Amino acid sequence: MAKYNRALFLYHIHAGKTNIEQKLTQTLPILSKHIKELIVLQTETLEETHNACKTYGENIDLLIILGGDGTLHACLNSIVELEKRPIVAILPGGTSNDFSRMLQIPQNLPDAAEAIIHGNVVDIDVGKSDDRYFLNFWGIGLVTDTSENINETEKKNFGALSYIMSAIRTVNNARSFSYEMKSDDDIFKGEAVLIAVLNGKYIGTREIPISTISPKDGKLDVLIIKNSNLASFRELLAMNKNISAYDEMEEITHFQTKRLSLSTSQNKNIDMDGEILTQTPATITVLHNHMKMIESSVGNTKT
């Protein structure tokens, strides 16, 4: 008996490095056995992706996205305001596939397809920044500069390693900026090189070592890094050692909130899930349990 009645399998022709025919061969036979009606649709632009999600979104049980974080971000912003939203499943077909890692989806495509069929449907929080939405992270400063400084040739040849290469270049030239923000409970002012609002804990495949980050708790984790020196990153790496969200640290501020308003001395480009489309100031909120997604039932992130 089929597990799902009607599903849309959506893939972006330009996502990732490997041959799309190979990706389809590795996944479609596994999925089709468990879905009564499986619609397979190729898109070439983000506009096509947006229109496809809008057209099919309320009339399918399951949306399967074969692509990277950019494709996922486009799909999210297309269906998040629908009255009836499908369950969303991710097949990691991009460069970093960060939110699929958060859901513990295997990075091997046949295993990921099996995880979709046998995984758990869970309620996932969605971040909202003014009129746009994000699943994984919202960031300004170093995180945005890193995305903007990625060399496309390196990205094509080295994949996720290109983010690390860009980060090394960016840190060496980081400049601080002035900010003011208001959370549920406090007001923060100062200088920073990076501000990140986190719903997931992977950026550029690298895990942010903060134990409180969860896309299911109705809260967003806010991380402020004041300087781009070694002390900042030592403190960050120490944050997985049972340090609470409100412990005092010299170079890093970390707290949780449901709502945040933020302004900067100069307008800063905002990176949401790897897409840079808006600028500060911004008001950020969390929509608790807003999306249903599939996570692995075995916690396997095989590569």
For residue 219, the Cα-to-chain-centroid distance in whole angstroms is 15
- 128: tokens are 């909202």
Distances (CA, A) of 188 to 137, 176, 204, 210, 257: 20, 15, 27, 20, 13
Give dist(CA 170, CA 267) in Å, integer: 19
Q: Which helix (H) or strand (E) holds 21?
A: helix 20-32
Q: What is the pLDDT of residue 302?
A: 44
Q: What is the pLDDT of residue 292?
A: 98
Annotation marks residue 275 as catalytic: yes
Helical ranges in 80-196 per DSSP H: 98-102, 109-118, 142-148, 152-158, 161-171
Q: What is 4-124+291-295's CATH number?
A: 3.40.50.10330
Q: 3-state DSSP helix/strand/coil percent for the chain, to nearest 5?
A: 30, 35, 35
Q: What is the pLDDT of residue 245?
A: 46
Q: What is the pLDDT of residue 145?
A: 64
Give dist(CA 44, CA 32) in Å, integer: 23
Domain ranges of the chain: 4-124+291-295, 134-289
Counting Cβ atoms within 10 Å, is residue 297 exposed (0-12), middle (13-18) or buried (19+)?
exposed
**Per-residue confidence in pLDDT tens, the chain, 303 aa:** 789 999 999 998 765 555 888 999 999 999 999 999 999 999 988 889 999 999 999 999 999 999 988 899 999 999 999 999 999 999 998 888 999 999 999 999 999 999 999 999 999 999 999 999 999 999 999 877 665 555 555 445 444 444 444 454 555 566 889 999 999 999 999 999 899 999 999 988 888 888 899 999 999 999 998 876 645 555 565 555 544 444 456 788 999 999 999 999 999 999 999 899 999 999 999 999 999 999 998 754 444
> Residues 16-54: pLDDT tens digits?
555 888 999 999 999 999 999 999 999 988 889 999 999
For residues 175 and 261, the answer to whether their CB atoms sit within 8 Å is no
Is 213 in a helix, a strand, or coil?
coil
Confirm or reject CATH 2.60.200.40 for domain 134-289, answering yes or no: yes
> Residues 54-102: pLDDT tens digits?
999 999 999 999 998 889 999 999 999 999 999 999 999 888 899 999 9
Give dist(CA 119, CA 13) in Å, integer: 26
- 148: tokens are 């903007």
Which candidate in 235, 251, 275, 295 is catalytic? Answer: 275
Q: 270-295 burial, b for 16+ CB within 10 Å, e for fewer? A: bbbbbbeebebebebbbeeebbebbb
